[in-house]
Structure 1
Amino acid sequence: MELHYLPWHRPAEQSDRPCVRDGHTELTYAQFAERVDGAAEQFADHGVGPGSVVAVMLPNRVELLVCLAAAWRLGAAATPVNPVFTASEATYQIADADAALVVRASAGAPDGGRWSVLVDDLRTAPTRSVPAPVTAVGDLALLVYTSGSTGRPKGVELTHRNIAAMAGSMVEALRLTEDDHCLLVLPLFHVNAICVSYLATMIAGAQLSVLARFHPVEFLGAIERLRPTFFSAVPTIYAHLVALPSDVAADTSSVRFAICGAAPASEELLRATEQRFGFPLIEGYGLTEGTCASTANPVDGPRKAGTVGTALPGQVVAIMDNDGSLLPSGRRGEVVIKGPNVMQGYRNRPDATVDALGDGWLHTGDVGILDDDGYLRLVDRIKDMIIRGGENVYPKEIESVLYGHPAVLEAAVVGAPHPIYGEVPVAYVALHPERSVTETELRDMCTQHLTKIKVPVSITITGALPKNPVGKIDKPGLRAGLAQKPAQQGV
């Protein structure tokens, strides 16, 4: 397997082609490779080598991509850290990954007590002869952290074989060529942005424009100015775009397709986006453990509304019954996946790895149905995960923080419907009879330990939480009640 996304594997004739840009920097393929060599030399001076992990805690910018490739050049892995994490969240990931080095945006950003380099101090070129790269397909490439049912984030181990298979599959499915131009708007601590926008674009020899953030009007202005041919986004972004006043217009004719994933999108949203902006919207499905995507509606073939498409090249998507048998089309069961894109496992979590991969299939925890043509329709979620604007929020992580207060006897967090974000977390808390705490105090505690999107939009203190017949907290009942009164749009 060839790792064509690596700068030192790119054809020499592409050296002068535009490679990547952001709001401050624009690099050709040769200039990007030189930046990677400089950063790799600097990382090596800090002891990074084969088997090491480099934590990269940066907002979307060219240097983040340089750092990923620099780690890979040394046979090391990278773990991208959400740049808005609290010190508690960042330190946990840095420690769990056992990062040898942290690249951060400022001296005030968390470093987990490890060696660190400020992004503005990165070398832009090597100062001496750079040793030959040592990257191999079986090397760990990425540690992408996703919250789990235990309430503590888990590191998903992805090798170069995994990410090369994923990115190559996207190139084939999306028919990418060197004439394409991707506009990257999703955060680069997600595997979607890394594999679909960055790596697939590099394999195709195309160009990549990186946006620091999403703002509806600015985003349309970037499309008009930069003339990209495709981009990947989440339903919340499309909802914001469609909600713009009718007099806000932009020339989006360069876009030959856009991708919608990370959370379910309504048929109405897909249709409204296509009608307003004139490009087809390709809905897909996947998860971090599958290195991002496993199904997608075809770019040029039939797109079936209400489905997330067919299996991507090189993957097998099936429906499994409770007894482990595979079900025929039309039958409902758990979505399971096989392919070279499936993760190696969870870092330092052997039991969780066996649960997810023990029978040779990746168990997604999602319920779906395959039709006779192989199109997948998702009908339910086994897990309690909340998807807020395309971001995965796991109730257990929030509940663990709430249980940290001595007055909290019981806590339950569920997703409330929201017209823009899809879902937002809300919390219900029962207190010890002889102790007290206010909603404000609990919210402040959550704000201290959790990223903003994980902080419950409401915390209800009640005498007791509802239970089902076997004594467990009745989360389905809580969700059913919330479905009758969606959260306010301004959350």
Structure 2
Amino acid sequence: MTESPSLPHLPWNSPSARSDRPCVQDVSRALSYAELEAQSRAFAEQLDDLGIQRGDVIAIMLPNSVELIVAMLGAWIAGVVATPVNPTLTAREVTYQLEDSRARLLVGNAVEGVEVPALGADEMRRTPAAPTTRSIAIDPSRLALLVYTSGSTGAPKGVMLDHRNLEAMATGMAQHFELTENDHALLVLPLFHVNSICVTFLAPMSVGARVTVLERFAPRTFVDAMARFRPTYFSAVPAIFAHLAALPDDEAIDTGSLRFAVCGAAPVSPELLARCETRFGMSITEGYGLTEATCASACNPVSGVRKPGTVGPALPGQRIRIVDVRGEDVASGERGEIVISGPTVMRGYLNRIEATAETIEDGWLHTGDVGILDADGYLRVVDRIKDMIIRGGENIYPKEIEGVLATHPAVLEAAVVGRPDPVLGEVPVAFVVLAPGFETDAEELIAHCRVGLAKIKVPVALDIIDALPRNPVGKIDKPALRHALAAA
């Protein structure tokens, strides 16, 4: 086993390790580096007392909080894998993730119908029994996270990320953003995503900086947090910047402490970023990545040439190519699929050998996105191959929504596509063909979706039509549906 000092993104290996320097805080409490390590060790001991063994999986379903971070770090100390769960998921969705990951414990409130034992945040142990002077050894190749992302088949897949993946991502981001121990990250995105875990938690930990955690984003809360905590950077999705741009003209944001902001997770217009930069005096750098590459693979620099409309060059340690359908490189300036290699590429999808083989070929991760590399190596994302909707930075796959609609007895066929939205980027819209002899309406079908889907996946509109458009080979013509929505 390799000793964990080779993993500088972990707080106990940080330049500020075991010190009284501020480490992480939320609205209710703050911990120093020494206190965070002690409480993480205490939770690791508690897992051991509960019979959770090395290699087991625990699910963490908590709102953004210090407790969530302690649970994740404690799991890693115990050699346990953490799978973060979106607290807004329905019981059906939670059950699927827990069963697929074989989680032995749910850290969070019990969910009706979910049989996995639950441990509330207020039941987490805070004081370790063993001395904290003992070193913590973690094998970099040990699995650290199972992050679930929806798949084109409609069934979410567990992306396996090990400690070496997280180290490469965190240290690469710290280097790219020129982070130092004087930085202060404002964490506003949900911690069930790798963006928050890597960009605004592990990256600052690797340099001994500090983190302030907001439970959720709300414009007024964010404005207050900027003035109260005076962070040096934050990472957000386009929907957040759209909300900020929509603030009343007399609403100011104190950005005097801010070095930069990061925008990622979904396409964004250069006009929106320029509007926020001009109005609020903040420097926004746009990036690109996906869970399967541990978070980000390209990003415009904080200092240096930033090219609006691009997501910047490849991050340190990663390579990006643009390939044609044969997997061969295309010329600079030409379109093709974006493929990525490097130490951030996932181990694979949990228990999905075929899906992993289709996604990773000879070490290159096929993103399913279409892009262009310019002569300077800056990437522009221009399209998506995968049938995916990105709503406010959240990936939504139509197949999952279509599968829930299909369980209604009145539904013969359903197709879901993304409709352009000025704030969220895209929202799901459904088209349904009824089975012969059945009657229903849009309200009933949307209510049916609410039972089995998280709120973000529920269609914002549903049209009942006589027939779905089809292409010459008989497949549902979703581009035609998208075109009609865009034109409308």
TM-score normalized by the length of structure 1: 0.96
CA–CA distance in structure 1, aligned partners of residues 208 and 15 of structure 2: 9
1:331-353 deviations in whole A, cap 9, x for unaligned?
A: 11000000000001000111110
- Report whether the alignment pairs 1:25 with 2:22: no
SS of the residue corresponding to residue 204 of structure 1 reads coil
CA–CA distance in structure 1, aligned partners of residues 224 and 442 of structure 2: 41
1:430-465 deviations in whole A, cap 9, x for unaligned?
A: 111122332222111110110001000111111111
The equivalent of 1:112 in structure 2 is 114
Which residues of 2 match residues 262-411 of structure 1 at below 5 A? 262-411=265-414
The equivalent of 1:226 in structure 2 is 229
The equivalent of 1:127 in structure 2 is 129
Which of 49, 60, 77 is residue 81 of structure 2 equivalent to? 77
The equivalent of 2:64 in structure 1 is 60
Displacement of 1:408 in angstroms is: 1.4
How many residue pairs end up in the alignment? 483
1:234-270 deviations in whole A, cap 9, x for unaligned?
A: 0110111011111111321100000000011101101
1:385-430 deviations in whole A, cap 9, x for unaligned?
A: 1011111111011011011122211110000011111100000011
SS of the residue corresponding to residue 412 of structure 1 reads strand
CA–CA distance in structure 2, aligned partners of residues 111 and 94 of structure 1: 12
The answer on whether the counterparts of 1:309 and 1:376 sit within 8 Å (CA) in structure 2 is yes
The answer on whether the counterparts of 2:11 and 2:206 sit within 8 Å (CA) in structure 1 is no
The equivalent of 1:87 in structure 2 is 91
The answer on whether the counterparts of 2:15 and 2:206 sit within 8 Å (CA) in structure 1 is no
Displacement of 1:128 in angstroms is: 4.4
The equivalent of 1:190 in structure 2 is 193
CA–CA distance in structure 1, aligned partners of residues 112 and 296 of structure 2: 31
SS of the residue corresponding to residue 411 of structure 1 reads strand
Structure 1 window deviating more from structure 2 (28-37 vs 436-445): it is 436-445
1:123-179 deviations in whole A, cap 9, x for unaligned?
A: 111134577634210000000000001101000000001011001100000000000
The answer on whether the counterparts of 1:41 and 1:126 sit within 8 Å (CA) in structure 2 is yes
The answer on whether the counterparts of 1:20 and 1:207 sit within 8 Å (CA) in structure 2 is yes
The equivalent of 1:41 in structure 2 is 45
Structure 1 window deviating more from structure 2 (90-99 vs 11-20): it is 11-20
Q: Read off the aligned partner of 1:477 and give its amino acid letter.
A: A
Q: Which runs of 5 or more residues in structure 2 are unaligned?
A: none
1:47-66 deviations in whole A, cap 9, x for unaligned?
A: 22211111000000001000
The answer on whether the counterparts of 2:17 and 2:34 sit within 8 Å (CA) in structure 1 is no
CA–CA distance in structure 2, aligned partners of residues 445 and 321 of structure 1: 41
Q: Read off the aligned partner of 2:210 and give its amino acid letter.
A: Q
SS of the residue corresponding to residue 310 of structure 1 reads coil
The equivalent of 1:176 in structure 2 is 179
The answer on whether the counterparts of 2:14 and 2:207 sit within 8 Å (CA) in structure 1 is no
Which residues of 2 match residues 147-226 of structure 1 at below 5 A? 147-226=150-229
Displacement of 1:320 in angstroms is: 0.7
Identity of aligned residues (%): 58
TM-score normalized by the length of structure 2: 0.97
Structure 1 outlier segments of 4+, above 6 Å: none
Over aligned residue pairs, what C-alpha RMSD do you find?
A: 1.4
The equivalent of 1:488 in structure 2 is none
The 3 A distance-change label for structure 1 pair 348 and 358 is same
The 3 A distance-change label for structure 1 pair 278 and 385 is same
Displacement of 1:5 in angstroms is: 2.4
The answer on whether the counterparts of 2:16 and 2:208 sit within 8 Å (CA) in structure 1 is no
CA–CA distance in structure 2, aligned partners of residues 376 and 136 of structure 1: 34
The answer on whether the counterparts of 1:102 and 1:111 sit within 8 Å (CA) in structure 2 is no
The answer on whether the counterparts of 1:75 and 1:133 sit within 8 Å (CA) in structure 2 is no
The equivalent of 1:241 in structure 2 is 244
SS of the residue corresponding to residue 206 of structure 2 reads helix
- Report whether the alignment pairs 1:448 with 2:447: no
Q: Read off the aligned partner of 1:57 and give its amino acid letter.
A: M
Displacement of 1:213 in angstroms is: 1.1
The answer on whether the counterparts of 1:74 and 1:133 sit within 8 Å (CA) in structure 2 is no
Q: Read off the aligned partner of 1:349 and give its amino acid letter.
A: R
The answer on whether the counterparts of 1:14 and 1:205 sit within 8 Å (CA) in structure 2 is no
- Report whether the alignment pairs 1:478 with 2:463: no
The answer on whether the counterparts of 1:47 and 1:100 sit within 8 Å (CA) in structure 2 is no
The 3 A distance-change label for structure 1 pair 357 and 367 is same
The answer on whether the counterparts of 1:367 and 1:382 sit within 8 Å (CA) in structure 2 is yes
Q: Read off the aligned partner of 1:366 and give its amino acid letter.
A: D
CA–CA distance in structure 2, aligned partners of residues 13 and 126 of structure 1: 17
